[in-house]
Amino acid sequence: MSKIRNRFYKFLFIALFSPAVVVGQSNVIDEVIAVIGDEPVLKSDIEFQYQQALMEGVEFAGDMRCHILEQMMIQNLLLEQAKIDSIEVSENQVLMTVDRQINNFINRAGSREKLEEWLNKSILQIKEEQRELVRNQMLTQQMRQEITKDVDVTPLEIRRFFRETPEDSLPKMPAQYEYQKIAITPEISQEEIERVKARLRDFQRQVREGRDFATLAVLYSEDPNSAARGGEIGLTPRASLVPEFAQVAFNLRDKNKVSKIVETEFGFHIMQLIERQGDRVNVRHILLKPKPSREAIEKAREMADSLVSLIRKDSISFEEAALRYSSDKDSRANGGYVINPRTQSTKFELQEIQPDIARKLEKMQQGEISAPFMMKDQRLGVDQFTIVKLTKKTPPHTANMVDDYQTIKRMLENKKREETFRDWIRKKQRETYITIKDEWKDCRFEFDEWVK
């Protein structure tokens, strides 16, 4: 019954939050469509995923319900193997993912109370119902990685794969940019810091006198990610918080008290405890960011102008200037080279670059250094004078071994992983008890050994 209740919950959630989906009027009595090992596939599972696919505009040439059934049978094979191999997932990771989902649900509903009212369940009940779903997703992902973990390719195989792949099957690579960056952040005066601290001390006083912390956060916090939620960050593990913030958050004990003022790279905070579960904590916080004076901004501009002049005269290299003067901690140690977080390489497609920088790079020649320009740091949310150098621009082209070796390597690795995984599925089909209801046996499955 618990599984059927979970399926009902999923239908209910789509109906509430996805108005584009129209759930059928007729009552469907749940039934077992297939059994894989000792794991059933329920009709409600298939219908839920079918409705979700419609909601997301997924197009499928064949019978989508048959495709969904096959994907769920593959998932059950993976879950069965995960049990045999004692594969486990981090409970913290499960809870973190559930927390993110619940926070998203709350944002869409408008408040925790509204979500609980709509679903007629407490937040704790909603979280429990999501944990099994998230855990199974993570188990199947980890099991698939385990199956293909030993896949490797050699340089000889990569060269052979490239030679044997028809040119029209190789990916068309867009223009790629490699660039360096120096960021100069205007200094903050001690007077401005004291002004911000005084304002936070006034908020502490107001809360002690009975004012609602969450209301103050909505009105005054400068954290765009949490202000609208009354400053609430959601249950977050210690490792995901900056150390200074985490130290204070995890030392809070009284939910009615406000923390001391804490300084981080983002600014100055005060916080209030909501709940703590082991190595995760949920607090409300108010963030205020000190603002530089006009004089400090002008001084930073002059420094950036001077650096550009020195670099262009070869009085100092871009790399040395970045190391000595840049406030961008992610790139300064690399001589200003910016690393693509998606590929861990220095190559970016234009749409992967922050728009302010992309607009500059698009008009620059290789080796050119920009004039300083003001832009907001995406992570810290502070204004900086930025200097960029277009180190290399690779024009659009068909993937080749010189410019795109890593791309071709990933293509071959993915191909071998897919082949390894498909071989594993066929082997498991032969070894596993499988039964499918007669009316579903006519489905045109991708793998032909489901029906025995």
Segment 267-290 shows an average pLDDT of 93
Percent of the chain with pLDDT over 70: 93
In a domain, 364, yes or no: yes
**210-257 pLDDT tens trace:** 999 999 999 999 998 899 889 999 888 888 899 999 999 999 999 889
In a domain, 361, yes or no: yes
Give me the CATH number covering residue 360.
3.10.50.40
**371-395 pLDDT tens trace:** 999 998 877 788 999 999 999 999 9
Q: Which residues contact 308 (CB under 8 A, 6 or more apart)?
A: 369, 370, 371, 372, 387
In a domain, 324, yes or no: yes
- Domain total in the chain: 3
Same domain for 259 and 318? Answer: no
In a domain, 411, yes or no: no
In a domain, 409, yes or no: no
Same domain for 197 and 317? Answer: no
Same domain for 299 and 375? Answer: yes
CA distances 277 to 236, 274, 283, Å, are 9, 10, 12
The range of the structural domain enclosing residue 267 comes to 190-288
Same domain for 207 and 284? Answer: yes
In a domain, 222, yes or no: yes
Same domain for 200 and 274? Answer: yes
Same domain for 333 and 266? Answer: no
Same domain for 278 and 200? Answer: yes
Residue 260 pLDDT > 60: yes
- What's the distance, CA 364 to chain centroid? 31
Same domain for 297 and 183? Answer: yes
Alpha helices in 317-404, H assignment, sequence order? 318-325, 355-362
Closest listed residue to residue 272, CA positions, set 252, 291, 287, 244: 252
* pLDDT grade for 17, boundaries at 50, 70 and 90: very low
Same domain for 218 and 303? Answer: no
Percent of the chain with pLDDT over 90: 64
Residue 119 pLDDT > 70: no
In a domain, 383, yes or no: yes
Same domain for 253 and 312? Answer: no
Segment 6-35 shows an average pLDDT of 50
What pLDDT does 3 receive? 45
CA distances 108 to 17, 98, 114, 117, 398, Å, are 7, 15, 10, 13, 43
DSSP secondary-structure letter at 268?
A: E
Closest listed residue to residue 112, CA positions, set 253, 238, 284: 284
Beta strand ranges found along 148-261 (DSSP E): 172-173, 176-184, 236-237
Same domain for 274 and 313? Answer: no
What pLDDT does 277 receive? 85
**Domain limit, last residue, from 250, 266, 288:** 288
139 near 82, Cβ under 8 Å?
A: yes
